Amino acid sequence: MGLTSLLDLELAVPAPDELQAFWEGHGMRVTGPGMLGSLDRPSLLRLREGAYRHVAEMRVACETESDLDAIGRRLERLGLAPVRGDGVLRCPDPILDHTVVVQIGAAAALTPPGPRSLNRPGRPERLNRRSTACLGHAPHAPRRLGHVVFGTPDVAASRAFYVEGLGFKVSDSIGDMAYFLRCSPDHHNILLMPSAVPCLNHYALEMDDIDAIGLAGAKVLAQRPDCSITGIGRHVVGANLFWYMLDPTGGMFELYADMDQIVDDEKWAAEQFRDDWDPFTISRWNSSAVRADFFAPADIDAIAKARAAAGR
Ligand SMILES: [Fe+2]
């Protein structure tokens, strides 16, 4: 079958303690030195100190040893030199510089949220009782790392690395400008989009539902009133509800829910795949309010300078 899931990210930032304290304050669990987990998963983010904000490592999972063999052969055909260890393959991303680690296994299953019934016109489901959304509702903190969006100076080469090398599948694209890729049933676990320099555009954390997004986002906003980038909205591509905000290091994160799931690759490719999406219609609602720093991080010049200083 190949890849099964996105596991976690190692983020290098100038002040990892500050980022750890932020996420600890918003419900993540400190599960080890610099490691932040959730109810079901010990690691969503691993933090370490770095001169500038970037992804240092991304871990994904595959099913079997023979999947690792096949991935290794495909990467070698692209002229790369993956390193095999015990049940693990490591390969530097040739464009974005971070290391991709593929390991055998799958991300831990998630504890489902409690039942939620909706009263819609002509279809009332919640009768003679109050909604859990407003009474005693304590939604879970972020449940898992769902996707990562990378800005790349060479979209075609990045696509080749992730699709032809690692085996990600293309769910949708914006022409040949941006690609939504998956390594699990999620509509996308990676989005590749153009950028003058390699950068992390955002990391996305799955929440239970719109109320969980609203409650968690409002709590962040109460502490840091200028941190909302855009949201709440619903993406057109992938269909996820979203709220984009800045963490204390200036990194954008997304709280999201209700993303399209793809379990039949051929059916999706035949009936749903599109490559003609409009890059600027990011939401079914209110796309005109999207700020420029949704598309390129406000600290992109600082990232470029720091990369140059590091000889990259
Ligand atoms: Fe996203």
Does pLDDT of 183 surpass 90?
A: yes
pLDDT per residue over 42-65, tens digit each?
Answer: 999 999 999 999 999 999 999 999
pLDDT per residue over 65-115, tens digit each?
Answer: 999 999 999 999 999 999 999 899 999 999 999 999 999 999 999 999 888
pLDDT score recorded for residue 136: 64
pLDDT score recorded for residue 1: 63
Does pLDDT of 138 surpass 80?
A: no
Is residue 126 domain-resident?
Answer: no
Does pLDDT of 41 surpass 70?
A: yes
pLDDT band at 127 (very low <50, low <70, confident <90, very high): very high
Cα of 203 from ligand 1 centre, angstroms: 7
Cα of 295 from ligand 1 centre, angstroms: 11
- How many C-beta atoms lie closer than 10 Å to residue 292's C-beta? 8
212-238: string of b/e by CB count within 10 Å (b at 16+)? bbbbbbeebeeeeeebbbbbbbbbebb
Whether 231 and 243 have beta carbons less than 8 Å apart is answered as yes
Parallel, antiparallel or unpaired: strands 241-246 and 252-257: antiparallel
Does pLDDT of 288 surpass 80?
A: no
pLDDT score recorded for residue 134: 83
What strand order describes the sheet that includes 241-246?
169-174, 178-182, 190-194, 144-152, 199-206, 252-257, 241-246, 228-234
Is residue 219 domain-resident?
Answer: yes
Cα of 191 from ligand 1 centre, angstroms: 8
Task: Classify burial at 307, counting beta carbons within 10 Å of its beta carbon; exposed 0-12, middle 13-18, buried 19 or more.
Answer: middle
pLDDT score recorded for residue 137: 63
pLDDT per residue over 238-253, tens digit each?
Answer: 999 999 999 999 999 9
Question: Which of 40-44, 129-133, 174-178, 229-233 is predicted with the least confidence, judged by mean pLDDT?
Answer: 129-133
pLDDT band at 287 (very low <50, low <70, confident <90, very high): confident
pLDDT band at 179 (very low <50, low <70, confident <90, very high): very high
Cα of 148 from ligand 1 centre, angstroms: 7
Look up the CATH number of the domain holding residue 206: 3.10.180.10
Is residue 252 domain-resident?
Answer: yes
How distant, in Å, are the alpha carbons of 58, 117, 140 from that of 72?
Answer: 16, 46, 38
Is residue 8 domain-resident?
Answer: yes
User: 205: domain range?
Assistant: 3-108+143-309
**Structural tokens at position 214:** 């609203």
Cα of 154 from ligand 1 centre, angstroms: 20
Mean pLDDT of 301-309: 95
Question: Which of 19-33, 163-177, 289-303 is predicted with the least confidence, judged by mean pLDDT?
Answer: 289-303
Total of domains in the chain: 1
Is residue 243 domain-resident?
Answer: yes
Cα of 244 from ligand 1 centre, angstroms: 8
Does pLDDT of 191 surpass 90?
A: yes
Is residue 117 domain-resident?
Answer: no
Does pLDDT of 264 surpass 90?
A: yes
Is residue 184 domain-resident?
Answer: yes
**Structural tokens at position 169:** 């599948």
Cα 36 versus chain centre, distance: 15
pLDDT score recorded for residue 86: 85
Cα of 116 from ligand 1 centre, angstroms: 24
Whether 105 and 61 have beta carbons less than 8 Å apart is answered as yes
pLDDT more than 70, % of the chain: 98
pLDDT score recorded for residue 132: 85
Kindly state the helix (H) or strand (E) to which residue 217 belongs, with its residue range.
helix 210-223
pLDDT score recorded for residue 290: 80
